Amino acid sequence: MFLTISTRGDAAHPATDLGFLLHKHPDKAQKFSTSYGTAHVFYPEADAGRCTAALLLEIDTVALVRRGKGKGRGGAPDAALAQYVNDRPYAASSLLAVALSGVFSSAMRGVCATRPELPGQARPLRVEVPALPARGGPALVHRLFEPLGWSVSAEPVPLDSEFPEWGDSRYVRLVLESDGLTLAEALRHLYVLLPVLDDAKHYWVSSDEVDKLLRAGEGWLPGHPEQRLITTRYLSRRWSLARQARERLELVRLAEADDSDVGELDNAVAEETETEPRPTPLAVQRREAILATLRARGASRVLDLGCGQGELVRELLKDARFTEVVGLDVSVRALAIAARRLKLDRMGERQASRVRLVQGSLAYTDKRLAGYDAAVLSEVIEHLDLPRLPALEYAVFGAARPRTVLVTTPNVEYNVRWETLPAGHVRHGDHRFEWTREEFRAWAADVAERHGYEVEFTAVGPDDPEVGPPTQMAVFTLTTTETPKEAKAA
């Protein structure tokens, strides 16, 4: 990973003042050990007119894996090669942000004992990052940095310069320029926003990350127009931490606006929360309905097919009656997040023996899925192209054949009740289709008939008398132990 910070100067204010601010002498090349490799600091140019400091971070990919990223007792993702072969050594990420805070910690705090007048001075700055993952594209890069006073250039990096028809990669070459920021402000912006754009931290995010975020975001994050996205991504989509961060930022903003007492505001927020309880999110209602149905059917060994980041797996593990829980997903990254959220590496032996996370595709039959009491497909089928749906049907109902199968999917008729959803749009950008109640019932009935199941339907969420519930659930019950081929032969 590579990053440069440049500044301009003159005889009265030489650019080499950058060395005082960074506490790194321009005539020296220095290196610093980190948990994941070695950070090198050197100056490609250093004179009164222009000075550039470079940070080169060499990543030890073996050390990165051994320190726990992607590892998990009782069910780490089946992706050993992916742990070693990835973009981590080359693309700016939370690894680079941590190196910035470690190597330039005094500069980030705005401390310079030798020249105490320098940290508070705004100066012309130019920051370059040759390879930055931008999940959201160049437009998001502009939305994040421009409100902070930066002039932004985010040039997409092509997948292959010899084959332009392949299009652009998810990486950009970032150039930031500003004449109105201090170096400390610039470093704090980078410390927060580089991992936000990458949207994948290399370490477990705990409650102390909220304090780090608020310290680095002091003075700019409370009023940032993308505050919600920044807090959510920086805290690895841990919603409780993101909510806590936003509440604290709101208190800061209000205190700055009218000089109110923060303690009184905190009490006011608490009272408002107590008197106006928030409605239960649909995702929570969906999990509750699934758990209630599994308990009613007496299931103990359960498959969560398309488990994503492990929300349902976590709820299943809280109930001792579910003695074996298997989460399967095609996304290695989602499984790594699930392992981290479930704290598999810190889980006790007995609890770890109850859970496995495995990588696989529902487009193919999989012997690992046979013999279970129940399988759950929660908000999964709508992410498949319709021509691929028969393959999933056979893999689950024809080959795995659990005694109970639960399938939930959006009810497209209910979409008119979502005020923020434009007419004609699906609820998620990756949804390939969304069915009416009639369409879903017809599909489920056909699947049940062909594979020896009975099916009944349940509403999840408020059941609107005109358009039905937001989520529809089909509960399939196996009526014969014969496979479809055996039944046909008989």
**Stretch 8-17: mean pLDDT:** 89
| DSSP codes joined into one string, 228-278 | HHHHHHHTTT-HHHHHHHHHHHHHHHHHHHH---HHHHHHHHHHHHHHSPP
Three-state secondary structure call for residue 437:
helix
CA distance 107 to 92: 20
Here the tokens at position 85 are 């072969």
| The pLDDT of residue 79 is above 80 | no
pLDDT averaged over the chain? Answer: 85
* Distance from C-alpha of 396 to C-alpha of 305, rounded to nearest angstrom: 9
Mean pLDDT, residues 395-415 taken together? 95
> Is residue 355 classed as helix, strand or coil in its secondary structure?
strand
Q: What is the pLDDT of residue 65?
A: 64
CB 133 within 8 A of CB 92: yes
Q: Are strands 471-478 and 453-460 parallel, antiparallel or unpaired?
A: antiparallel
Q: 181-196, pLDDT tens digit by residue?
A: 999 999 999 999 999 9
**pLDDT on residue 272:** 46
pLDDT single digits (tens) 119-165? 888 899 999 999 988 888 899 999 999 999 999 999 998 888 888 88
Interacting residues of 279 by C-beta distance below 8 A, sequence separation 6+: none
pTM of the model: 0.53
